[in-house]
Each structure stands twice: as C-alpha cells, then as structure tokens.
Amino acid sequence: MLRGTAIVDPAFVVGPVRRNTFGSFVEHLGRCVYTGIHDPHHPTANADGFRQDVIDLVRELGVSTVRYPGGNFVSAYRWQDGIGAVEDRPHRLDLAWHSTESNTVGLDEFMRWCEVAGVEPMMAVNLGTAGVLDAVDVLEYTNVPGGTALSDQRRANGAEAPYRITMWCLGNEMDGPWQTGHKTAHEYGRLAAEAARAMRQVDPHLTLVACGSSGRDLPTFGSWEHTVLTEAYDQVDLISAHAYYHEADGDLPSFLASAVDMDRFIEEVVATADAVRAAGKHDKRISISFDEWNVWYIDRAESQPPSGDDWPIAPVLLEDRYSVADAVVVGNLLMSLLRHTDRVHAASLAQLVNVIAPIMTEPGGRVWRQTTFHPFALTSRHARGEVLQVVVRAPSTETAKHGDAPVLDVVATHDTETGELVLFAVNRALDAELTLDVDVRGFGDLRVIEAVSMASTDHDLPGEERWFATAEDDTSVLPTANGSAAVSGGRASAVLPPVSWSMLRLARV
C-alpha cells in the first residue's frame, strides 16, 4: 500500500472559493440545445419548450454560470436571427459544425431558461465575422432599459426589464485556424480592445474576457497572450484558457495526470499576463477565465461533423460516454481550478447537455447522469469559504506526456463560518490503494461528517469495455461511503482506492 501525507492550516489561504468556477457551457452544437435543454414535445417541457427534468439536474449539478451561444458557433452567428416571432426566424448554415441552425431558441429564450435554471448568463459576441458595432448592438438589446431602437425591440419581444448581463466573452478561440474569421494576435488584440471600449461606453459595469489560447500545445501559446494583452490590457478583465484531455493509446497514467498539465497551463498564462503588466506599468492584474475544459475524445467518430450537402438540424455530435476513470480526471481538473483560485476567477465545464456533457437525454424521453456529473456536483455543493494551501508528500510515477507526476493530489476548502474543512483527493495509482494522512491540527478537534470515494475496478480494461452510465443504468457506480475515514490526534486519514476521486468533510467536534 502507498502512503501520502499532507499538511493544511487555516492561516495559509490561496483565495476565496469562487462560485463562477462552477460554470458550464451551452453551445448551438449537436443536441446540446435542441432535444437537450429544449424539447417542446417532452412531457416535462414548460411553455418555452425547455425540459424541466434537465433543469432539475442542472440545479443538482450546481452550475453557477452558463456560457452561450458558443464556442465556434458564435463566430458566424447573427444574434438578430434569434429574436422576434419564432415562425419568422430564418434557417442558417452553421459553418462551425456543418449543421443547420433553425434559430428556434435565441437570446430571449435562453435568458428565460437561465432564470428558471437559476444560472447567470455569460454571453459571447461575434468577433469572427461581425465586429464592434454588432457587439454594441447586442449589448444595447440586452442591457439598455428602453428608449432606443434595439432596447424597445427587446421590450416588444416580451422582456420589459433589461437583462443586465455583466459577463461577456470577446469572441471565441480567435487564435485557432479552424475558427471562422481567425485572426492574428495583433489583429484580434486591436479588435478586442476596440469592442471593449465601445461596450463600456454603453455599460461600464461589465466583466470582459479576451480570447487566450485554445490549447497549451499550440505554436502561438504564450506569444498570443502577450500580444493580445499588450493591445487590450486596460480594456479587459480576464483572458480565457481552453483545454481538453483524453486517454490516448491506452496511456492511462498520462491521462490521470492531466491536472498536472492544467496547473502548468494556468501558471504560464499568469506569468505572461504579469509580464505584460510589469512592462506596461499597469495597476490591475489580469486573471483567467478557464471557460472551456473537460475530457473530450476528439478523434472518435461521434466528434466528426457532417459533410458535403448534409446540413442537418441538431445532429448527434460529440456525445462521448464517460468511464469512472474519466470522472476521476474531471474531478481532478476541477481541483486544479480551485487550487489556482487566486488567478482563476471563472471557469466553464464544456458542455452541459449531450455534447461531451455530464447530463444526457433521449429526444422526448429519459435523462441521466454521466459519471462526470458526480465529482462536479459534490465539489460545487461542498466547496465553500476559502481555498487553502496544501503541502503534499507522496510517491511519484513517470508519465509519457507529463513527466514525473505525484500519485496523490489534494485540495482543501475551509468555511470559516461553519468551521467545515473539506479535502478533495485523487489517487492516480493504477493498482495500489493509498493511505492518506493529513495534518489538520490547526483546526482544533474535528470529526468526519462525510467521506465518499468514486472508483471502479474496470480501469485496466480497454476504454470501450469499461462501465459507463446509460439511460438504463446510471447508478451501478456512484460515489460511495468510505468507511476508512477517521480523525485522531489532529490527523485525518483515509484509504483511497486505486484510480479514485474522494471527498472528506470534517467538522468541529
């Protein structure tokens, strides 16, 4: 059996637990919107056609913000197509995913969905094929109370009060050659700065996100952030980061260490932003919106869009099925985001329903939770107060992609009001239990109020042979009680199964 130790103390604070870390993403892609959140013929559909069973799971998942309407989709999107009478809305080609967009769901419908789902919108503007004036127009439509052409159009469309949307993404992945309207860093930086200036003339109380790199492995990573922020530093608040991970060629050790790569990604973006700050003698600090992250098996057949003359509405796309090992990685990636809460101020799990998602639906039928649902929901529910520094000592293992990686990872949150200490831990070892021993003397006398682990014995099987949730069975593998957890003599301990994600909740005696 392996052994790992950790030290945590309430005096060493990284920063607050930010609710915006628990965001998600709804893009007009595949079945995320149509037959995902929106299915007017479903028995639970409300007056707007939104599925109540999905809304219930979104609330259970603990999502705080939802980024919309893309994603790659936004870079050729005409937001005006999605307002007004539904029967008058045009069908358009979606260049990003080679589909047809019916515009049945648009801005006003999405805002009503946000209200019933209890989430805050994070809107993206089109800086791929549109520009400054289009960004100002959509902001006028959403945020101006009335008295102008576009604000009065919103009122005529049924929304008397302004939406007051505060979080806005200035385009999407403009560094990517795949993006409609792809730009160089200099071109995009200038455009983002001008769009931001104009948007703040309409509403100065906005949080604006500039496009950072779509991946740490892109050749422009680092130089892109430096150039964009040199152009737009004073006009924006956050810079985005996007990262997707998957198990490749049966290399489970590298996959389980994905959070090591995310840690490095965050730290390198922070270093670049701070270099621009120093060179430009700026007062404020730019932080990160990690507004796309997840496990995505991008090379699988279900991730390949249609082609030729086939432009379907809401095709099956990116509908990955997730194993328990995938859930362990998702839980660990969320731990990485929390660990950097001082500089990661927002994040979005991409996506929410059907498309590489924790929630799956059948058109007109059942809804179920994927394995990745559970670590996200539990972390969102119980991470409160402050994120604390954790010093971890544990054996390391060599990985092909990330070099040496510790087999143990731990993140801690502390609610100063209730005194509750929560430890989130991952055992990356493939075939060995790990005894976790944490020094918690600084918190006084504690007791275990809940301890759960999520693990499976099938991680040594080929990926397609592992267990994954289905409409027929989404409960065979769940986070279950870990009876080994205990606190004694100022030390918390538990035995963590191989390839597992665990949560230990400790409270004052």
Q: Given pLDDT bands bounded at 50, 70 and 90, which one contains residue 195? A: very high
pTM of this prediction exceeds 0.85: yes
Indicate if 364 and 435 belong to the same structural domain: no
Are 366 and 416 members of one domain? no
DSSP state of 480: E
| Confidence band, pLDDT 50/70/90 cuts, at residue 371 | very high
Got the DSSP string for 306-317? P-TT---SS---
Residue 194 is a catalytic residue: no
- Do 227 and 264 have their domain in common? yes
- For residue 472, what are the β-bridge partners? none
> For residues 317 and 266, what is the distance between their CA atoms, to the nearest angstrom?
29
Residue 228 three-state SS: helix
pLDDT in tens, 267-276: 999 999 999 9
Q: Are 499 and 455 in contact (CB under 8 A)?
A: yes
One-letter amino acid identity for 451? Answer: A
**Residue with the two structure tokens 């995902």:** 36
Q: What six digits make up the tokens of 48?
A: 């707007």
pLDDT in tens, 29-51: 999 999 999 999 999 999 999 99
Answer with the one of 382, 411, 427 that is the final residue of a domain: 382
| Domain shared by 353 and 394, yes or no | no
- Percent residues over pLDDT 90 in the chain: 98
Residue type, 253: P
Q: How confident is the model at residue 130 (pLDDT cuts 50, 70, 90)?
A: very high
The pLDDT tens digits of the residues spanning 324-338 come to 999 999 999 999 999
Residues 372 and 450 grouped into a single domain = no
> What is the CA angle 124-107-154, rounded to 5?
120
In CATH, what number is assigned to the domain containing residue 396?
A: 2.60.40.1180
Q: Is 90 exceeded by the pLDDT of residue 455?
A: yes
* Confidence grade of residue 463 (pLDDT, cut at 50, 70, 90): confident
Q: In terms of domains, do 363 and 461 share one?
A: no
Token digits of residue 308? 């030729």
491: nearest Cα among 111, 3, 8: 8
Task: With H, G, I as helix, E, B as strand and everything else as coil, classify residue 459.
Answer: coil
Q: What is the DSSP track for 169-193?
A: EESS-TT-TTSTT---HHHHHHHHH
φ and ψ at 218, to 5 degrees? -70, 145
Return the amino acid letter for 428.
R
In 3D space, the residue among 474, 479, 487 whose CA is nearest the CA of residue 436 turns out to be: 487
Q: What residues contact 159, with CB distance under 8 A and at least 6 apart?
A: 108, 111
End position of a domain, from candidates 329, 361, 382: 382
Count of alpha carbons within 13 Å of 25, Cβ hemisphere only? 28
Question: Are 376 and 228 found together in one domain?
Answer: yes
Phi, psi angles (nearest 5°) of residue 222 = 95, -60
Q: Are residues 330 and 393 in the same domain?
A: no
Which residue is listed with tokens 């007017």?
Answer: 40
Same domain for 102 and 158:
yes
Active-site residue, 160 included: no
Report the number of distinct structural domains present in the chain: 2
Provide the pLDDT for residue 39.
98
The mean pLDDT of 49-58, rounded to a whole number, is: 98
What pLDDT, on a 0 to 100 scale, did the predictor assign at position 264?
Answer: 98
Q: Which residues pair with 243 in a beta bridge?
A: 293
Task: Tell me, yes or no, whether 218 and 294 share the same domain.
Answer: yes
Query: 98 and 209: one domain?
Result: yes
**Beta strands 500-508 and 446-454, pairing class:** antiparallel
Residue pair 387/17 in contact by the 8 Å Cβ criterion: yes
Phi/psi of residue 300, nearest 5 degrees: -70, 155
Residue of 173, 225, 231, 386 marked catalytic = 173
Average pLDDT value for the chain = 97
Q: Determine the average pLDDT of the residues in 6-10.
A: 98
- Active-site residue identified among 27, 101, 109, 292: 292
Q: What is the pLDDT of residue 221?
A: 98
| Peptide bond just before 10 cis, omega within 30 deg | no
Residue 192 is encoded by which pair of tokens? 């983002």
The set of residues, in sequence order, having a beta carbon less than 8 Å from that of 73 and lying 6+ positions away, is: 27, 28, 29, 94, 96, 97, 101
Out of 382, 406, 434, pick the residue that ends a domain. 382
CATH of the domain at 58: 3.20.20.80
Query: Which range marks the domain in which residue 322 is found?
Result: 18-382
Residues 211 and 286 in one domain: yes
Q: Is the pLDDT of residue 23 over 90?
A: yes
Split at pLDDT 50, 70, 90, the class of 300 is confident
